[in-house]
Structure 1
Amino acid sequence: MTSKAPYVFARQRTVLKILGTHVTLQEKLRQQAMKDLGIELIFEPRGSAAVLQKASVSPTSFDLYEQWSNSIRPLWTSGSIQAIDKKRLIYWDEINSLSKTGKISPNAKMGAGDAPNKILNIQYDGTLGETPTEQISFLPYVHNVDSFGYNNFFIPKGEPYLTESWGWLLDEKYRGKVGIVNDPTIGLFDLALAAQAENLVQFDDIGALTKADLDALFKVLIAFKQQKHFSGFWNSVPESVDFMRTQRVVIESMFSPAVSTLNSQGLPVTFAAPKEGYRGWHGVMCLSAATQGRQKDAAYDYMNWWLSGWPGAFIARQGYYISNPQRSQKFLTQAEWDYWYQGKIATEDLLGTDDKIAVKKGEMRTGGSYSKRLSNVAVWNTAMPTYDYSLQKWYEFISS
């Protein structure tokens, strides 16, 4: 009697679909997470406006969503995301005060608009609010402050917090060489800060613009656009890099990874520390309303992985912070930690996420330390009560 080999049943790897932007949906992160977690990850990176639009209408198209905090209210209202159980987050207690209270330190400016703590907690009546509960709307993970970048071949370096100003985006000197992020909840604030800095309009609360505020702002902006002040409106970080690299623009809305990429290519682009304060953003990782079973378990594993140390160190090298930085410190060299988090002079050349030199020995990070930068937020990315009207005005502006 011949023996037969036993059947071998290979367990199918769980597949997670992650919808987000180019900022965090990077191939090195995907490969490391698959290696560490033993799951299959499908990344779908898009521009931020396109990501929010798809997630709002099609929760079955993703398991996890990664973007900025201004997308939370629209996603929660549309029913596209489900509550996250804090008890399943291994590192919850390590997450710092910025995410939980809106302030990195007691003396920090709160910043107008939706500071992360205002939209984090799911209240017992189903709304989003500040009172802590056992359920949250997003995993607090990457975050940073944004401003604008400018090419020092054409624009001399200003002084952080003293002379650099959002108003530069509307300075006549740069007409035809200005780029703006094409996102109605981000580009809008860059331009509102610029218009206010130039005394073209004034707002009582820049984080909650009224219809009258928006009408006044866009009257000014459309006039600038018709005078061909803006060279273009970029939709993704790679596109913003191209704008600056090809000299289509000399000043533009920028995110930190774009500045790091251009610096690693030898272009002297400065990331401004505006005297009016930064536009702050907080990364959000959300669980699709449609995600259940093994996918949901794997999604929690992936969320916990993001706060486990290595990912936070990786994104530090493109200038981003993680909500529990001490766990990532051991994955960074002392020189990296001192430069990226402490705001100290680089004691050696530092590599970016592309393994090219992003920071040269002797350089200091614009805006200083983590604490100083996050203490100077003028406004947070926000979906305002006038969100629908602001979308209408934005698209009128873009098409004018």
Structure 2
Amino acid sequence: MKQRGFSRRSFLQLTAGALGASLLAACGSSEASQPTQTGSGGGGAQPTTASGSPAPAVITGVTLRVVGTGVTLLEPIREQAEKDLGIKLEYDVNDGPAAQQKAATQPQSWDLYDQWFNSVKIVWGSGNAAPIDINRIQEWDKISPMPKEGKLTPEAKEGDGDAPYRILYVQPDNTLGSIPTEQISMLPLTFNVDSFGYRSDLVDEEDVDSWAILFNPKYKGKIGLYSDPSTGLMDLALGAQAAGLATFQNIGNMTREEIDTIMEILIEQKRAGQFRAFWNSFDESVNLMASGEVVVESMWSPAVTALQVRDVPVVYASPKEGYRGWYGGMMLNKNASDKVLDACYEYLNWWLNGWAGAVVARQGYYFCIPENVKRHLSQADWDYWYDGKPAAEDLLDPFGSVVAKAGSVRDGGDLVTRVSNIAVWNSVMDEHQYLVTKWNEFLAS
């Protein structure tokens, strides 16, 4: 495969444009064996903690500042990590655009950046991140091939756009690419696939196997969409291509001409009343579907499960064209040094032991080392979330609420089935600034 490199210099303009766009978007918004200790500590056997991670090196008293989103910056994780590592964690929880903006423009405010791979270009381009040395990542070799090579299995689709492996490795010239080195831009941790949800009591089964449903006139005025310009557009582009309205060489990195084409289609469809609402938050997406105001909607997996627990007949689609994938992880601040740097690596390695991955698994997210998660999950949880089997009992989320009822089955099947069919990854396109300008025109039309 041809090497694709991303340099800091080549992303200076992209960084500025994307940050401005992110701010606009924000303002517009109304988830084995015991690990062995390495890194800053001494050698020899180490006692393990309640979560199963090794006792840390001497980093007591260090405060780590982690900026990110509520997807992974969860109180149960913070509390357990502090208990296991003897450090203090300050979680700065934001929405995605705000977290990215802080990472790229306020390097003095964070030590670790916990977000998604589609923001790597922006943060790396800002010059605020340092490479992560995989020699200090104690279970690097156990991380699945998906973020390293692009596929979980040889038969799987790679997907267009910012697949993690394409921007994972720091090259000798400080660009990012897919050729393996001993330095990485972001430590891959959690991932999932997204699609659209639909009301099974109000939508015909024959229409739900394709993204084309977003343009089906049968559901005119009943379509809900995500307002984010990047992911929202990808869902619509998948729909337009499936419906035969447009074609794209790479949905994850459209040209200006392709952006113009899809925007003309979208403005025409919007003016004709095809789309009912654009949601900005998790709660908005849930309420739109629960009320019946929309019957087909771009959604996140936890929103679907939240509705199913309330007995709202919502199904998460498995479109034949493929899902939209995302991968999360952490980046290291270039200013981290001495004990703070050691503590950063201890925290990264603590995450890999699987305890935190089991917490996010109970929200529907997968983890980069599945076998490590398995030892922290009940058999019922593992069977449901990873193996796609019926829930043997009512399953709880990290906060004690029922998230899956006994007998229910996860839409889309098991891990391998779901992540082998990714059409495109969440991405920051080369023409991101232009895209956001056109997207705002579409929203205002």
Q: Same fold (TM over 0.5)?
A: yes
**In the aligned structure 1, how far is the partner of 2:283 from the partner of 2:81?**
23
Classify 1:54/1:140 alpha carbon distance in 2 versus 1 (closer, same or farther; 3 Å): same
Q: Please say if 1:351 is aligned against 2:396.
A: yes
Query: Which of these residues, 70, 73, 96, is aligned with residue 121 of structure 2?
Result: 73
Once the two structures are TM-superposed, the CA of residue 71 in structure 1 deviates from its matched residue by 0.7
**In the aligned structure 1, how far is the partner of 2:214 from the partner of 2:75?**
33
DSSP-derived class of the 1:148 partner: strand
- Corresponding residue for 1:214? 259
Q: Please say if 1:370 is aligned against 2:415.
A: yes
Q: Is the 8 A contact 1:149 1:272 kept in 2?
A: yes
Q: Is the 8 A contact 1:260 1:352 kept in 2?
A: no
Query: Which of these residues, 42, 50, 56, is aligned with residue 104 of structure 2?
Result: 56
Amino acid at match of 2:105: V
**In the aligned structure 2, how far is the partner of 1:14 from the partner of 1:236?**
34
Single out whichever of 85-94 and 58-67 deviates more from structure 2: 58-67
- Corresponding residue for 2:38? none
Amino acid at match of 2:330: M
DSSP-derived class of the 2:285 partner: helix
Classify 1:87/1:235 alpha carbon distance in 2 versus 1 (closer, same or farther; 3 Å): farther
Query: Which of these residues, 9, 13, 31, is aligned with residue 61 of structure 2?
Result: 13
Amino acid at match of 1:379: V
After TM superposition, list the pairs within 5 Å mapping 1:142-221 onto structure 2.
142-156=190-204, 163-221=208-266
Q: Which ranges in structure 2 are unaligned for 5 or more consecutive residues?
A: 1-58
**In the aligned structure 1, how far is the partner of 2:81 from the partner of 2:308?**
28
Classify 1:213/1:60 alpha carbon distance in 2 versus 1 (closer, same or farther; 3 Å): same
Once the two structures are TM-superposed, the CA of residue 216 in structure 1 deviates from its matched residue by 0.2
Query: Which of these residues, 156, 176, 201, is aligned with residue 128 of structure 1?
Result: 176
Deviations for 1:132-179, whole angstroms, at most 9, x for unmatched residues? 1111000100001111122334335569xxx42212223233333332
Classify 1:385/1:333 alpha carbon distance in 2 versus 1 (closer, same or farther; 3 Å): same
**In the aligned structure 2, how far is the partner of 1:238 from the partner of 1:55?**
26
DSSP-derived class of the 1:344 partner: coil
- Corresponding residue for 1:251? 296
Q: Is the 8 A contact 1:264 1:352 kept in 2?
A: no
Q: How many residues of Structure 1 are paired with residues of Structure 2 in the alignment?
A: 387
**In the aligned structure 2, how far is the partner of 1:228 from the partner of 1:16?**
49
Query: Which of these residues, 90, 107, 110, is aligned with residue 42 of structure 1?
Result: 90
Once the two structures are TM-superposed, the CA of residue 224 in structure 1 deviates from its matched residue by 2.4
DSSP-derived class of the 1:185 partner: helix
Deviations for 1:193-250, whole angstroms, at most 9, x for unmatched residues? 1111121111122232111100000111122233343333333334433433444433
Q: Is the 8 A contact 1:48 1:235 kept in 2?
A: no
Classify 1:265/1:28 alpha carbon distance in 2 versus 1 (closer, same or farther; 3 Å): farther
Once the two structures are TM-superposed, the CA of residue 95 in structure 1 deviates from its matched residue by 0.2
- Corresponding residue for 1:107? 155
Amino acid at match of 1:44: D
DSSP-derived class of the 2:230 partner: coil
Q: Is the 8 A contact 2:112 2:331 kept in 1?
A: yes
Q: Percentage identity across aligned positions?
A: 48
DSSP-derived class of the 1:19 partner: strand
**In the aligned structure 1, how far is the partner of 2:273 from the partner of 2:104?**
33
TM-score under structure 2 length normalisation: 0.81
Once the two structures are TM-superposed, the CA of residue 49 in structure 1 deviates from its matched residue by 2.4
**In the aligned structure 1, how far is the partner of 2:256 from the partner of 2:217?**
27
Classify 1:235/1:67 alpha carbon distance in 2 versus 1 (closer, same or farther; 3 Å): farther
Single out whichever of 206-215 and 16-25 deviates more from structure 2: 16-25
- Corresponding residue for 1:3? none
Q: Is the 8 A contact 2:157 2:421 kept in 1?
A: yes
**In the aligned structure 2, how far is the partner of 1:64 from the partner of 1:230?**
39
Single out whichever of 23-32 and 68-77 deviates more from structure 2: 23-32
Query: Which of these residues, 236, 242, 262, is aligned with residue 281 of structure 2?
Result: 236
Amino acid at match of 2:357: G
**In the aligned structure 2, how far is the partner of 1:239 from the partner of 1:54?**
25
Compute the RMSD of aligned alpha carbons.
2.1
TM-score under structure 1 length normalisation: 0.90
